[in-house]
Amino acid sequence: MRQPHYQKLYSDLKKQVISGIYKHGDLLPSENQLCEQYGITRLTVRNALNMLVHEGYISKQHGKGSLVSLKRNALPLLTFKGFSDTLGKTDIPVQTKELASPKKQRWEKDFFFPLSEKEKKQDCIFFQRLRFAGKDPIMLEYTYVPGASAAGLTQKPLVEQSLFTTLRQRFGIDITGVEQELRAILPDAKTARLLKIKTNAPVIHIYRRYHTYKPQFFVYSSLFCLTDQYALSNSFNQTLSK
């Protein structure tokens, strides 16, 4: 399973931006230079650059070049990249604590996304995890993985504590997108206790359905996010024109 050229270039550039080799405001090498360096055509280079534009790492200026854009002090958690993927390489010290071992169980009644008949027939693997930035809990995460395709998730610990990395490496399942809904709520007693806040401190509640390369195979999450210390952030860019 060979990596496409644009993927290689994309991850190379992303690493260089994250690690600070290219800093905010710097110009990346021009498209033609990248063509030569990698021995590929401009379309392929542009595919890689477009991915970076969409994720907000760079912006382009016609006639000038590709400018590196820096993120601010907030958690870029509204994309479909997982917690570890997004924050693992930043300077924010993150930790994950399992509140209980992942276990197989029936789906909850009135599940927050409508389930297909096929999903309902099987059990799901249930994860309960608490995420920390520094010493403070910042996110409570419940995740549901339909059982059949991912049996064995309960056997061995996760690769690098990351569910998405584990799915990719051990099951060949890639996350390709997400739908999500956000609401401001007051936490119930249990949630407040876990996040170490009072029940009158508002949190953002997020329901997510992750899409994968396997059609009709979804992963579901319910998240409670504290936003006092770190806001949730994201950025979009689009190549539009008239």
Partner DNA sequence: GAGTGGTCTAGACCACCTG
Partner DNA sequence: AGGTGGTCTAGACCACTCG
Residues that bind its own copies (CB under 8 A): 1, 3-4, 7, 43, 51, 54, 56, 59, 61, 72, 74, 78-80, 174, 176-186, 200, 202-204, 207, 211, 215, 225, 227-228, 231-242
Q: Does 6 bind DNA (CB under 7 A)?
A: yes
In whole angstroms, the minimum distance from the beta carbon of 12 to its own copies comes to: 16
Which residue from 19, 39, 184, 200 is in contact with DNA, where contact means CB under 7 A? 39
Q: Which residue has the tokens 């905010």?
A: 24
Q: Does 208 bind DNA (CB under 7 A)?
A: no
Residue 101 or 216: the one with the smaller Cβ distance to its own copies is: 216
Amino acid occupying residue 77: L
In whole angstroms, the minimum distance from the beta carbon of 19 to its own copies comes to: 21
Quick check: 164 and 84 in contact, CB under 8 A?
Answer: yes
3-class secondary-structure state, position 164: helix
DSSP string, 20-46: TSS-TTPBPPPHHHHHHHHT--HHHHH
Give the closest residue to 156 by CA, choosing from 165, 231, 93, 218.
Answer: 165
- How remote is the C-alpha of 147 from its chain's centroid? 21
Quick check: 131 and 138 in contact, CB under 8 A?
Answer: yes
In whole angstroms, the minimum distance from the beta carbon of 105 to its own copies comes to: 25
Residue 125 or 204: the one with the smaller Cβ distance to its own copies is: 204
In whole angstroms, the minimum distance from the beta carbon of 192 to DNA comes to: 43
User: How far is the C-alpha of 150 from the C-alpha of 175, rounded, in Å?
Assistant: 14
In whole angstroms, the minimum distance from the beta carbon of 33 to its own copies comes to: 21
Which residue from 19, 23, 62, 238 is in contact with DNA, where contact means CB under 7 A? 62
The entry of its own copies, DNA, none near residue 135 (CB within 5 to 8 angstroms by kind) is none
Give the closest residue to 139 by CA, choosing from 87, 217, 177.
Answer: 87
Q: Does 37 bind DNA (CB under 7 A)?
A: no
The entry of its own copies, DNA, none near residue 32 (CB within 5 to 8 angstroms by kind) is DNA
Quick check: 144 and 124 in contact, CB under 8 A?
Answer: yes
Give the closest residue to 57 by CA, choosing from 4, 19, 8.
Answer: 19
In whole angstroms, the minimum distance from the beta carbon of 103 to its own copies comes to: 29
Quick check: 162 and 82 in contact, CB under 8 A?
Answer: yes
Beta bridge partners of 75: 232
Which residue from 4, 20, 134, 157 is in contact with DNA, where contact means CB under 7 A? 4
Beta bridge partners of 100: 128
Q: Which helix (H) or strand (E) holds 31?
A: helix 31-38
Q: Does 95 bind DNA (CB under 7 A)?
A: no
3-class secondary-structure state, position 177: strand
The entry of its own copies, DNA, none near residue 183 (CB within 5 to 8 angstroms by kind) is its own copies
**Chain residues in the site for DNA (CB under 7 A):** 4-7, 28, 30-33, 39-44, 46-47, 60-66, 239, 241
